[in-house]
Amino acid sequence: MSENRPTALFTFGCSTHTSDSLVALLRKHRITAVVDVRSVPFSRFTPHFNREAIQDSLIRNRIHYLWMGPEFGARREEAEAYREGRVDFSKVFQLEAFQRGVARLRVGLAKNYRIALMCTEKDPANCHRTIMVTRYLSNVLAWQVAHIHFDGTVETNATFEARIRALAEVEDDLFTNDPADLTRQAYQWFEARAAWRGESR
């Protein structure tokens, strides 16, 4: 059953924003809750985005903050999330923690929060927040998702998927002309670059 709804779920990268410019960006898009999907909510280069610092900044500006690294982070503790030393996103989708995170997002959306999933990378094409998390939400659950860029512009998920198909050079051929299959191939191409490599603990 489709869970389509008006867009109230976004993504963005904190990147090199200042605290003030980030708050301004969120206010522009009327974001009321930020879900931090970084596995390790710490930055040596932008310490104002360390977990405690960004939480304090957002709360002062009446924006809710929730760290959900265990649910949506790219680095996984679960051994079953790995294939040949690399996180396999399709396996992550089946994890109890990931599904718990999805359930919490569903509750937040039902309460009419405008939620933005936050990670570090500036371009959503280079980040697991889209290649893993919103890939599941949009492709499996049919949720409406949009991506807020550094300059404040918004990219729809349909446009984002067309862009990653072009970047991955996935094209129609004699044997593949199903847009969903082409999109799947593009996600797999980017997953090979975005997936965490290492061993589970």
Number of domains within the chain = 1
SS3 for 85-154, per residue? CEECHHHHCCCHHHHHHHHHHHHHHHCCCCEEEEECCCCHHHCHHHHHHHHHHHHCCCCCEEEECCCCCE
* 180 part of a folded domain: yes
- Over pLDDT 70: what percentage of the chain? 92
* 19 part of a folded domain: yes
* 31 part of a folded domain: yes
Q: CATH code at 102?
A: 3.90.190
pLDDT at 27: 98
pLDDT at 173: 60
- The pTM for the full model equals 0.90
**Angle ∠(97,102,4) on CA atoms, nearest 5:** 160
pLDDT in tens, 154-193: 999 999 999 999 999 876 665 656 778 889 999 999 999 8
Q: Tokens 């996984």, residue? A: 76
CB atoms within 10 A of CB 28: 11
pLDDT in tens, 55-112: 999 999 999 999 999 999 999 999 999 998 999 999 999 999 999 999 999 999 999 9
Q: How far apart are the first and last CA of the chain?
A: 36
The dihedral of CA 73, 75, 78, 79: what is its sign? Answer: positive
Report, as an integer, the average pLDDT of 32-58: 96
Q: Is residue 194's pLDDT more than 90?
A: no
* 127 part of a folded domain: yes
* 57 part of a folded domain: yes
* 4 part of a folded domain: no
* 78 part of a folded domain: yes
* 154 part of a folded domain: yes
Q: Tokens 């999330």, residue? A: 81
- What domain range is 146 assigned to? 9-194
